[in-house]
Structure 1
Amino acid sequence: MAENIQPVTARATEHTKGAVQGRGAGLSRWAGIAVFSAVAVPMLAAYIVFYTGLGMPKGTINQGELLTPAKNVTDIELLSDNGDKILLADEAPKWRYLILGGEQCAAECEKLLYTTRQVHIRLGDKAHRVERMLVTADALSEQRLGELKSEHPRLRFSTVDRQQLDNWLANSDHPKLAGPNALLVDQNGFAMMVYDNRNTGNQLLKDIKRLLKYSYEK
């Protein structure tokens, strides 16, 4: 009789051990999912809140104005100062300010360039994730281009057909921007925020720092 009991007991012990190990593995998987969710869900929620304003009281959401619907910059043809096409979709993903200036970027345009430049500088070690691009309807004169390059060495220069730009914004809630304006473009190439000279550098900085915090560097 004793000989029959020992194998049964051994099998029962092995079965119990397997069940415990199975429960342990299951608990580990759920723990991993819980940890991932604790990190990812708040970041996703913050990103959605920033774009939509859902769940936030008025006056405490964004410092700029939302561009609705967001507009994909690949739908317009940007040309560099030497006439080459600028294909942002083929470049490293960045947050970008498209600064819509006048024909030769006069006083108000310069003021907005200065504000965005100071914001860029104040980003410190995050500055490489952001780019500034001046967009004008006509190419700048050589003299004007030289002046602005001297004052803004990290600024890119481009041109776009004015009618094409108007058509691009026509079905948005900012159909004709009086200018100058800065459009904030996300890492996927969508213009989603609008700023002008009524906005301070601190306001721009607050928005972009929040977006950099809740978005991954691609």
Structure 2
Amino acid sequence: MTVPATDAARIRRGRLMLIALFVLFFGSAFGAGLLRLSGWMPAGLKNHGELLQPPADLREVPLLHADGRRYDWDPAARTWRILAAPPAGCGADCVQLLAELDKVWKLFGHNADRVEVLWLGATPDGVALPPELRPLLDDPAVRAALPRADDPAGIPLYVIDPNGFVVLRYAPHADPSGLRTDVARLLKLK
């Protein structure tokens, strides 16, 4: 029994359609897998800071406010922290960094109450401190717990999660807009 030419054309078209759907579905999945394995990520998903693996744990190191009171971690409050670790005797760089951190904090808007700015060590003399800034006593144990805190290039910044883990590090002179973007993304986490 022979198949009429119109039925053979219809069968061939159906097979080609099935193969095209197969290639479209599995080809895109294969392409996505290759991109994932190569390490590529969309620009909107990349951190501006360095993701610390494993994160540094500051819960074991007692942090003290400048007046000597203990700084308590309160995970239930879901407060994220930005920590600046300037060297002793920091001058104009500290003043500029304070102004940038104040601006970043204000840009959080209604979420600003969920972000604290911590300053490890003495604050610059003669500078009005922003109200969101929490000065901490400089402690060698805290500096030792922070990855590459004594960077000769300048003042590194750190992002600390609500539980007390240091999750991101920003190199000295990093763009503060990247810090704001990363923390704003973290604030959306529940």
TM above 0.5, yes or no, is yes
Post-superposition CA distance 1:101-128 (Å, at most 9, x none): 1224422222222222111101111111
Q: Secondary structure at the match of 2:142?
A: helix
* Aligned counterpart, 1:25: none
Post-superposition CA distance 1:126-160 (Å, at most 9, x none): 11110101002xx55xx82xx34x24222111013
* Aligned counterpart, 1:160: 138
Unaligned runs of 5+ in 1: 1-53
* Aligned counterpart, 1:80: 65
1: CA distance between counterparts of 2:96 and 2:69?
27
Runs of 4+ in 1 over 4 A off after TM superposition: 57-60
Do residues 177 (structure 1) and 177 (structure 2) align?
Answer: no
Calculate the TM-score normalised by the size of structure 2: 0.68
Unaligned runs of 5+ in 2: 1-38
Indicate if the aligned counterparts of 1:62 and 1:207 stay in contact, CA closer than 8 A.
yes
The aligned runs of 1:2-151 (5 Å cut-off) are 56=41, 61-89=46-74, 92-136=77-121, 139=122, 144=125, 147-148=126-127, 150-151=128-129
CA 1:62–1:76 in 2, change beyond 3 Å: closer, same or farther?
same
2: CA distance between counterparts of 1:168 and 1:192?
12
CA 1:176–1:155 in 2, change beyond 3 Å: closer, same or farther?
closer
CA 1:86–1:151 in 2, change beyond 3 Å: closer, same or farther?
closer
The percent of aligned pairs where both chains have the same amino acid is 30
* Aligned counterpart, 2:169: 194
Q: Secondary structure at the match of 1:79?
A: coil
* Aligned counterpart, 1:31: none
1: CA distance between counterparts of 2:177 and 2:92?
21
* Aligned counterpart, 1:36: none
Question: What is the root-mean-square deviation in Å for CA atoms of aligned residues?
Answer: 2.6
